[in-house]
């Protein structure tokens, strides 16, 4: 599942040699994990077919077409991909197999894609990239390359499964989180942090990390949970938020803007605030665990089951000084 040579070659070609030690350490730890052999077997059992047709411009990322494989191959692919459930980001269409993920991630991408700078020839970093849905959408815009970091092994395995069906793409994912990235890189032209910020215990440490990953003048896209409120208002859940234990703080949009100013970011723009709906996050045949409907108060969907304001998300775009 982890082709060490291939990933090291990618990092070297892209001028990211300094990440090789962190990647090697992560690879050693992952290969010792209890789940590694299972994911390795799943990927090994996928048919060795390459997509002649693929399209990353659509809401549903297309990899191959049904006409390119026979019925036995299609059944085998679906069987193996199902073993990697839950699929949380999507949708994908793989050789005619529709992977209807929990999140219709295309809706988030629609809120971002027309607000960001042109990605052509840019070095792009996607933090907490999951299975790579946004990476594929970014590739349609012809960046120099996209690098993702993703600490959860199942998400990493999903990306590797999808990549297996494609010719060489200008993207790679490293199987670790933002903390393993060097503090002072000042390297990337565009940095995405979407759906990560509220999981971090220290908001300012995360913002400082983003600043130091981007080059001077580099663009940063921060998408996170927010509450309605004035500057200075912030929600710190007592235990759980929407059944999640790892939500540490949810600021108001004006509060978050003031934090961005404190870190000296430039050209700060709030480009979107939107309520998460059942159309965007829901149970599917590819994610049959609890989802948004289970996280909200049955009598009042404007509240979580804990009584907090229901999830809404903001997108800020700004530049590193």
pLDDT of residue 1: 87
How do residues 31-88 score in pLDDT, each as one tens digit? 999 999 999 999 999 999 999 999 999 999 999 999 999 999 999 999 999 999 999 9
CATH number, position 179:
3.40.50.150
User: How confident is the prediction for the chain on average, in pLDDT?
Assistant: 97
CA–CA dist 124, 116 (Å, integer): 12
Half-sphere exposure of 228 (CA within 13 A, CB side): 7
End-to-end CA distance of the chain: 38
Q: Kindly report the number of other CB atoms within 10 A of residue 168's CB atom.
A: 8
Cβ atoms of 88 and 103 within 8 Å: the answer is: yes
Preceding amide of 86 cis, omega within 30:
yes
pLDDT of residue 266: 98
Cβ atoms of 171 and 195 within 8 Å: the answer is: no
CA–CA dist 151, 134 (Å, integer): 16
Q: Is the dihedral of CA 39, 44, 50, 51 positive or negative?
A: negative
pLDDT of residue 302: 98
Q: Kindly report the number of other CB atoms within 10 A of residue 271's CB atom.
A: 15
What is the domain range of residue 289? Answer: 4-319
Cβ atoms of 99 and 286 within 8 Å: the answer is: yes
Specify the number of domains making up the chain: 1
Average pLDDT over residues 243-258: 97
Give the residue among 285, 14, 260, 50 at the shortest CA–CA distance from 148.
14
pLDDT of residue 21: 96
Average pLDDT over residues 180-203: 96
Q: Give, to the nearest 10 degrees, the angle between helix 203-213 and helix 253-262.
A: 60
How do residues 219-242 score in pLDDT, each as one tens digit? 999 999 999 999 999 999 999 999
User: Is a pLDDT exceeding 90 seen at residue 112?
Assistant: yes
How do residues 282-300 score in pLDDT, each as one tens digit? 999 999 999 999 999 999 9
CA–CA dist 225, 194 (Å, integer): 10
Give the residue among 207, 250, 253, 249 at the shortest CA–CA distance from 230.
253
User: Is a pLDDT exceeding 90 seen at residue 304?
Assistant: yes
Average pLDDT over residues 187-213: 97
């Amino acid at each position: 599942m982890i082709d060490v040579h291939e990933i090291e070659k990618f990092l070297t070609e892209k001028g990211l040699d300094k990440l090789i030690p962190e990647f090697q350490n992560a690879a050693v730890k992952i290969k010792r994990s209890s789940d590694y052999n299972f994911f390795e077997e799943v990927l090994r059992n996928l048919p060795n077919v390459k997509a002649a047709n693929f399209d990353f411009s659509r809401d549903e990322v297309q990899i191959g077409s049904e006409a390119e494989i026979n019925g036995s191959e299609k059944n085998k692919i679906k069987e193996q991909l199902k073993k990697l459930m839950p699929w949380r980001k999507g949708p994908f269409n793989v050789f005619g197999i529709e992977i209807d993920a929990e999140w219709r991630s295309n809706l988030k991408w629609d809120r971002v894609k027309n607000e960001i700078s042109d990605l052509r020839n840019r070095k792009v970093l996607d933090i907490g990239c999951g299975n790579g849905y946004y990476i594929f959408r970014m590739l349609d815009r012809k960046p120099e390359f996209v690098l993702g970091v993703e600490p959860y092994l199942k998400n990493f395995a999903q990306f590797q499964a999808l990549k297996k069906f494609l010719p060489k793409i200008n993207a790679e994912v490293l199987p670790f989180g933002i903390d393993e990235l060097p503090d002072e890189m000042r390297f990337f032209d565009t940095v995405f942090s979407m759906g990560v910020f509220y999981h971090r215990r220290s908001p300012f440490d995360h913002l400082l990390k983003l600043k130091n990953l981007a080059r001077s003048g580099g663009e940063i896209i921060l998408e996170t949970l927010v509450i309605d409120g004035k500057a200075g208002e912030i929600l710190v859940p007592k235990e759980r938020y929407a059944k999640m234990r790892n939500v540490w703080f949810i600021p108001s949009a004006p509060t978050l803007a003031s934090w961005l100013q404190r870190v000296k970011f430039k050209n700060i723009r709030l480009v979107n605030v939107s309520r998460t709906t059942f159309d965007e996050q829901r149970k599917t045949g590819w994610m049959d665990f609890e989802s948004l409907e289970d996280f909200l108060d049955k009598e009042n969907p404007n509240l979580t089951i804990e009584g907090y304001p229901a999830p809404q998300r903001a997108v800020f775009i700004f530049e590193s000084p």
